[in-house]
Amino acid sequence: MSNADVSHQSTPAPASTTTTGETEETVRESWRTYDVTGEPAVAVEDLNVHYGDDHALKDVSMDIPEESVTALIGPSGCGKSTFLRCLNRMNDRIKAARIDGSVEVGGEEIYQDGVDLVELRKRVGMVFQAPNPFPKSIRENVSYGPRKHGDLDTSLLSRLLGRDDAEAEEALVEQCLRDAALYEEVADRLEDNALGLSGGQQQRLCIARALAVDPDVLLMDEPASALDPIATAKIEDLIGELAEDYTVVVVTHNMQQAARISDQTAVFLTGGELVEYGDTDQVFESPESQRVEDYITGKFG
């Protein structure tokens, strides 16, 4: 508290604003340095992303603690999705994207030759804004990843050879659906097509599908923004529970949601800059940056 007061007093009265209405200020390193106890689950250093000539992320460094919820907030176009996609090299799929810098997951550099991207995306799963279940049964959606990776073998041949993993699949599907707070609602219709579920159920199924390959980190890009308030509340509760076992990094443009669900909050502002990063209570109650305060209080964005 007192720290923030002091730094506010020592900040010169902000007069000029940018074209987007943001106060001009020089970002201080201390605003975005956050001391993580223990080894960070994800350590980002000097990350820069260009799309052609567009510099979408500028010198972002950020340590993300394990088994907690880290929220990424900021106005549209400030680079939140770009940042999230860097954490499991999804930006590799975008031709125009050039990525410089370092990202370590569990202490291992993911931007180096020889990294197995399939393995990486098992460790760092992703859930998108619009639920995207496969047009398959609920069961097959959950067991899809483990089967693809060869962790479950339920083929007819295996069954004939007596190496059937059907029981293991049964247990895995149930466990993942339970962990995604969906099991009770679908237990009696696991063979039904997933597309028949409500939007909120589909999103929880996508979370169950992501959990099935046993990730360490779960990335979520506005996972509730396409859902009604009741479905949103379920996803919010679920995120809190998941953080007991996983490192959750969630983009949201809903500030109340970030304040409710996260342990740490990172605020990105126009130009792809990480401006402030710290404990969620501190960022929302006594932000160091005038621009972050203006953003949080709804003065722009």
Ligand X SMILES: Nc1ncnc2c1ncn2[C@@H]1O[C@H](COP(=O)(O)OP(=O)(O)O)[C@@H](O)[C@H]1O
- Considering only 40, 79, 131, 301, the residue that binds ligand X (CB under 6 A) is 79
The CA distance from 211 to 198, in Å, is 20
- Strand pairing report for 217-221 and 108-109: unpaired
Position closest to Mg ion via CB: 81
| Closest distance of CB 38 from Mg ion, Å | 29
Residue range at the interface with Mg ion (CB under 5 A); choices 23-31, 53-61, 79-87, 162-170: 79-87
Residue 262's binding partner out of Mg ion, ligand X, none, with CB under 5 to 8 Å set by partner kind:
none
**Residue (77 or 101) nearer to ligand X, CB:** 77
| Closest distance of CB 5 from ligand X, Å | 30
Residue 94's binding partner out of ligand X, Mg ion, none, with CB under 5 to 8 Å set by partner kind:
ligand X
Q: Order of strands across the sheet with 54-64?
A: 108-109, 97-105, 42-51, 54-64, 273-279, 264-269, 69-73, 247-251, 217-221, 124-127
78 touches 268 (CB < 8 A):
yes
Residue 51's binding partner out of ligand X, Mg ion, none, with CB under 5 to 8 Å set by partner kind:
ligand X
**Residue (28 or 58) nearer to ligand X, CB:** 58
160 touches 253 (CB < 8 A):
no
Site membership for Mg ion, residue 82 (CB under 5 A): no
Residue 146's binding partner out of ligand X, Mg ion, none, with CB under 5 to 8 Å set by partner kind:
none
Site membership for ligand X, residue 80 (CB under 6 A): yes
Q: Which of 265, 259, 197 shows the shortest CA–CA distance to 231?
A: 197
Site membership for ligand X, residue 56 (CB under 6 A): yes
| Closest distance of CB 221 from ligand X, Å | 7
In this structure, what token pair is assigned to residue 211?
């959990």
- Per-residue exposure over 99-110, b if at least 16 CB sit within 10 Å of its own CB, e if not: bebebbbbeeeb
In this structure, what token pair is assigned to residue 280?
């969620």
Interior angle at CA 105, CA 46 and CA 119, nearest 5: 125
Number of residues that bind ligand X (CB under 6 A): 13
Site membership for ligand X, residue 204 (CB under 6 A): no
Site membership for ligand X, residue 238 (CB under 6 A): no
| Closest distance of CB 52 from ligand X, Å | 7
Site membership for ligand X, residue 81 (CB under 6 A): yes
Residue range at the interface with ligand X (CB under 6 A); choices 12-20, 27-35, 73-81, 255-263: 73-81
Site membership for ligand X, residue 92 (CB under 6 A): no
| Closest distance of CB 226 from Mg ion, Å | 13
Residue range at the interface with Mg ion (CB under 5 A); choices 75-83, 132-140, 160-168, 198-206: 75-83
Residue range at the interface with ligand X (CB under 6 A); choices 51-59, 124-132, 164-172, 180-188: 51-59
Site membership for ligand X, residue 82 (CB under 6 A): yes
Give me the residues that bind ligand X (CB under 6 A), please. Answer: 51, 54, 56, 74, 76-82, 94, 96
